[in-house]
Amino acid sequence: MDRTAEALEELLKTVKTLRSPGGCNWDRSQTLKSLRPYMLEEAYEVADAVDNNDMQELKRELGDLLLHIIMAADICSEENIFDLADVAEQITEKLKRRHPHVFDITSELTPEEVEKQWEAIKAVEKKQQKRRFFDSIPEAMPALQKSWRIQQRASDVGYRGKAVDESRNDVSLLLKKEISEEDLGSILFSLADIARQKNIEPERALRERNRNFISRFNHLEELLESRGFSLNDSDGDHLKDCIAIAFNDW
């Protein structure tokens, strides 16, 4: 057994010990539903580590995510639904089925061609399973990311949507009126499609903007503290002055 197999075997054994009688009461009490928010949180922390290019943090966060995957599989194994081997076998079979250019007839494809082939094979599988085109997109996916993914997937099968300039014009017109919830949804959907056509991931772009805002707000707090104030007790003039400095080119 190689090092990777040994490490995974030891992790699975550790999880089973924690969930066994005499193990940890917290681990034993976990269910698929109770693990769900932790799994989502760990996935986002993996994304943060990638965005920050922090390899040590990425190693830790991938470990945390792997733990939740193994624990979820072990819970299903306890209930005789499936086990970790079934999970690994299924994804292996799927990868081979959706990469015929590698495992059937060896041929060179560009990344774009591979993606189109993947979606074409996926569409056939869905038809055979009598599933709708967007059924595989998670309902719980963040709405902005989901909008971008919906339009990205639709474009893979010929949907073109509106041109960037037309979408910009639609957004501009909506912004000139009293905006309703439906209007705001239309604006965000149009912006997601503009992002798709510009090869920009909107969720990532917004995360970066959020991070920038937090950084500037931290600077604002530091400026106030250097003057002997805090956000809660600063008077209007001091606060306006520090905001102007912190958000000078915002």
Q: What is the CATH number of the domain that holds 194?
A: 1.10.287.1080
Domain range for 214: 203-246
For residues 209 and 188, membership in a common domain is answered with no
Report the percent of the chain where pLDDT is more than 70: 99
3-class secondary-structure state, position 108:
coil
Q: Which residues of 204-236 are buried (b: 16+ CB within 10 A; e: fewer)?
A: eeeeeeeeeeeebeeebeebbeeeebeeeebee
Domain boundary among 65, 95, 125: 95
Q: Identify the band that residue 21 occupies on the pLDDT scale cut at 50, 70 and 90.
A: very high
**How far, in Å, CA of 206 to CA of 212, rounded?**
10
**How far, in Å, CA of 2 to CA of 136, rounded?**
35
Q: What is the pLDDT of residue 99?
A: 92
For residues 58 and 17, membership in a common domain is answered with yes
Query: Between the CA atoms of 6, 11, 15 and 17, what dihedral angle is there, to the nearest 10 degrees?
Result: 50
For residues 188 and 166, membership in a common domain is answered with yes
Q: What is the pLDDT of residue 116?
A: 84
Residue 209 and residue 200 in contact, taking contact as beta carbons nearer than 8 Å: no
For residues 185 and 232, membership in a common domain is answered with no
For residues 8 and 75, membership in a common domain is answered with yes
Structure tokens at 207: 């995360």
For residues 167 and 181, membership in a common domain is answered with yes
**How far, in Å, CA of 229 to CA of 238, rounded?**
8
Residue carrying structure tokens 């931290």: 218
For residues 24 and 82, membership in a common domain is answered with yes
Residue 68 and residue 39 in contact, taking contact as beta carbons nearer than 8 Å: yes
For residues 51 and 86, membership in a common domain is answered with yes
Q: How many CB atoms lie within 10 A of CB 100?
A: 14
What is the tens place of the pLDDT at every residue in 102-145? 998 878 889 888 888 888 888 788 777 767 888 888 888 889 99
**How far, in Å, CA of 28 to CA of 71, rounded?**
10
For residues 9 and 88, membership in a common domain is answered with yes
What is the tens place of the pLDDT at every residue in 25-47? 999 999 999 999 899 899 989 98
Residue 19 and residue 27 in contact, taking contact as beta carbons nearer than 8 Å: yes
**How far, in Å, CA of 226 to CA of 186, rounded?**
44
For residues 26 and 73, membership in a common domain is answered with yes
What is the tens place of the pLDDT at every residue in 155-197? 888 888 899 999 999 999 999 989 999 999 999 999 999 999 9
For residues 148 and 115, membership in a common domain is answered with no
Residue 62 and residue 46 in contact, taking contact as beta carbons nearer than 8 Å: yes
Count of domains for the chain: 4
Q: Identify the band that residue 4 occupies on the pLDDT scale cut at 50, 70 and 90.
A: very high
Cα distance from N-terminal residue to C-terminal residue, the chain: 56
Global pTM reads 0.67
For residues 146 and 118, membership in a common domain is answered with no
**How far, in Å, CA of 187 to CA of 231, rounded?**
33
Q: Identify the band that residue 219 occupies on the pLDDT scale cut at 50, 70 and 90.
A: very high
